[in-house]
Structure 1
Amino acid sequence: MARGCAFLGSDTAILCGAMSWVSERNLVAAMSNSGGFGVIACGAMTPELLDAEIAGTKALTSKPFGVNLITMHPDLFALIGVCEKHGVGHVVLAGGIPPKGSIDAIKAFGAQVIVFAPTLALAKKQFRGGADALVIEGSEAGGHIGPISTSVLAQEFLPELAAEHVVFVAGGIGRGDMIAAYLEMGAAGVQMGTAFACASESIAHPDFKKAFFRAKARDAETSVQIDARLPVIPVRALKNKGTEEFAAKQREVALLLDQGSVDMGEAQLQIEHYWAGALRRAVVDGDIENGSLMAGQSVGMVTAEEPVADIIARLMRESEAALTRR
């Protein structure tokens, strides 16, 4: 993990995946204070809200942490400015190809840029464009996902990129044995979200956490695209009434497209705002029937509420034991 730790400035190269409403100051600070690397999920926040969240996180930790920004956010460059104001050291650009000038704007104030890429060609292009590190995230992950499994992506990307670049692996990782396997393949570290969503320090509602504890891997299903003209990134979440409501939301937005009431960019933003609201209902309000319970397939390995420090310590023990056996 040495390369990953050096890049992040943390004791272990375990990033906490940015989960809207969950990855806020309390979990982020706990993650960084425990030797991992916390990442604030900006999601649909305004620049003013992000400003307050970063300040609140800095009040809870003096350790490095990052900020995850959604590339399609209409105020992306203002949000980058907020990160510059606070001297954020790492910015994660997620949800699509970074728009022109965004990577340069982040690097201009000395921050490291972490990106996602669904294909090897795009990953290489982003590194040429100035990205400092890459997260390859497989379809086993929770939230917005691509179509390819983590194990296949790792076999495709790591032999080509790991020698020269910092690459983190994400999706379906629940035990240290799997961390060890990806490190052996050349990964600099891993990103995990589901494993930390129900940590003691997570502000998620008790009923949200109980839903995770009851769930098995097969309960974390991907959303269905209703209309081929409306490209919707699939989302993996625990199946409930909210899953069905999303199908209805897609039909509603598709109708607005038909009527010419919105363009494609606005349609996609409406979908993102739907997820933000649905997530809030589940995470904050505890409405586990109608809210969105975004979870990766590793949810079956989340069985109890534990402090972040204990989760990280267990993962590291398992990883070291696996490497020692080898």
Structure 2
Amino acid sequence: MSVSPEQRLDQLWARGREFLGTRYAILGGAMSWVSERNLVSAISNAGGFGVIACGSMSPDLLHAEIVATKVLTDKPFGVNLITMHPDLDRLIDVCLELNVTHVVLAGGLPSGAAIKKVKDGGAKVICFAPALVLAKRLVRSGADALVIEGSEAGGHIGPVSTSVLAQEILPHITEIPVFVAGGIGRGETIVNYLELGAAGVQLGTRLVCATESIAHENFKQAFIRASARDAMPTVQIDPRFPVIPVRAITNKGTQEFMETQRKVIEKFNAGELDQNAAQLEIEHYWAGALKRAVIDGDVEGGSLMAGQIVGMVKREQPMAEIFAELMEQAYASLDVRER
């Protein structure tokens, strides 16, 4: 007996829905300055799973953000913590004190101690796995779920595409749910990854222009105007001074960053700066640049972090409408396959 597209989709992401406790197995990507109480609650209220981007927040600020989010939604949501944060232990304590159900540990390989602390406190742990060997290690360390994010994503990226990571990891990690991220802008693609074995997906760029997002109008308009080829990774011009690639819409700031690298390297070569000082000067260039773009609307000098699917973001929409569009595309794709 054939099943409807709606029933088939429910079957495909049943594991992810159960793990998250949501209508849709869609995680909101934790985007600094964007993924705060308003967007997070809107994602959860629309049936997805919002995730607060803690970033460099202090424990007190995170406490206030979680409390404020709970005022706006009674649905499940999580918190993304950066493993390199100097107050990581205290941030975990805050999440546990406020009964956050899912903690995402990002920005590096989390320690076994951090994973254990979250789990012992009664929350589920989600980790990022950039390669199969690390995925297996995280499973052994007790991660409850993984996110695999390819280079098509916005912000800090690794070198491998989503489609390759999915083929490398999904067939071999079946003990826990795996969510796929990076380069996902339509419902058909969600279905493709679910059929490959994913439990769900994570979306970031597609959600930035939600009506509920507090991102500055200039920031949203930059997304709406951009095409896929505008979202490029930052370039390192000297191997002695590593630059962690960040995918963003190219602007005046991108060009100035290249010029800054050149000038700093000239100073280093002339003996005016030592290696550490030169590296620090390069790394500090983008300090505060994301906030300037997202909050202040400086789309020329700020950082316009965006994934390659930014060209599919055509207008500002309510979160519920974005999800309805994605579901319509997913159902249509499944309907064609059932024929």
Distance 1:228 1:92, change over 3 A: same
Q: Which is worse superposed, 19-28 or 310-319?
A: 310-319
SS of the aligned residue for 1:303 comes to coil
Choose which of 69, 81, 87 in structure 2 pairs with 1:57: 69
Verify the 8 A CA contact 1:281 1:291 in the aligned structure 2: yes
- Judge conservation of contact 1:43–1:276 (CA < 8 Å) in 2: no
Matches within 5 A, 1:267-282: 267=280, 271=283, 275=286, 277-282=288-293
* Corresponding residue of 2:222: 211
Separation in 1, partners of 2:122, 2:80: 16
Name the amino acid aligned to 1:136. I
| Bigger radius of gyration among the two | 2
Q: Is the 8 A contact 1:44 1:276 kept in 2?
A: no
Counterpart AA for 1:316: M
Instruction: Please report how far the alpha carbon of residue 219 of structure 1 lies from its aligned counterpart in structure 2 after TM superposition.
Output: 0.2
Match of 2:209 among 171, 174, 198: 198
Unaligned runs of 5+ in 1: none
Q: 1:263 to 1:63 in 2, by over 3 A?
A: farther
1:71 matches 2:86? no
CA distance in 2, matches of 1:35, 1:194: 18
TM-score normalized with structure 1 length: 0.93
- Superposed CA deviations along residues 98-120 of structure 1, whole A, max 9, x for unmatched, are 13511111111111111111110
Across the aligned residues of Structure 1 and Structure 2, the Cα RMSD in angstroms comes to 2.2
1:305 equivalent to 2:316? Answer: yes
| Corresponding residue for residue 108 of structure 1 | 120
Q: How many Å separate the matches in 2 of 1:111 and 1:302?
A: 34
Mark the CA change 1:207 to 1:127 in structure 2 (over 3 Å): closer, same or farther. Answer: same
1:246 deviates by 3.6
Closer, same or farther in 2 for the Cα pair 1:47/1:262, shift >3 Å? farther
Secondary structure (helix, strand or coil) at the match of 1:173 reads coil
Matched, 1:137 2:149: yes
Displacement after TM superposition at 1:78 (Å): 1.4
Q: Report the secondary structure of 2:118's partner residue.
A: helix
Cα pair 1:15 1:39 within 8 Å, conserved: yes
Which residue in the other structure is 1:293 paired with? 304
Instruction: Name the structure 2 match of 1:323.
Output: 334
1:159 partnered with 2:171: yes
Distance 2:240 2:56 in 1: 24
**Distance in 1 (alpha carbons) for counterparts of 2:101 and 2:216:** 30
1:88 aligns with 2:88: no
Q: Structure 2: where are the runs of 5+ without partners?
A: 1-12
User: Which of residues 161, 166, 170 in structure 2 aligns to 1:149?
Assistant: 161
Q: 1:245 to 1:45 in 2, by over 3 A?
A: farther
Q: CA deviation at 1:29?
A: 0.2
Residue of 47, 72, 75 corresponding to 1:35: 47
Q: Which amino acid aligns with 2:102?
A: H
The normalised TM-score by structure 2 is: 0.89
Aligned pairs, number: 321
Is the 1:145–1:234 Cα contact (8 Å) retained in structure 2?
Answer: yes
**Separation in 1, partners of 2:175, 2:67:** 34
Q: CA offset at residue 225 of structure 1?
A: 2.0
**Residues in 1 aligned to 2:54 and 2:178: alpha-carbon distance in whole angstroms:** 22
Identity of aligned residues (%): 65
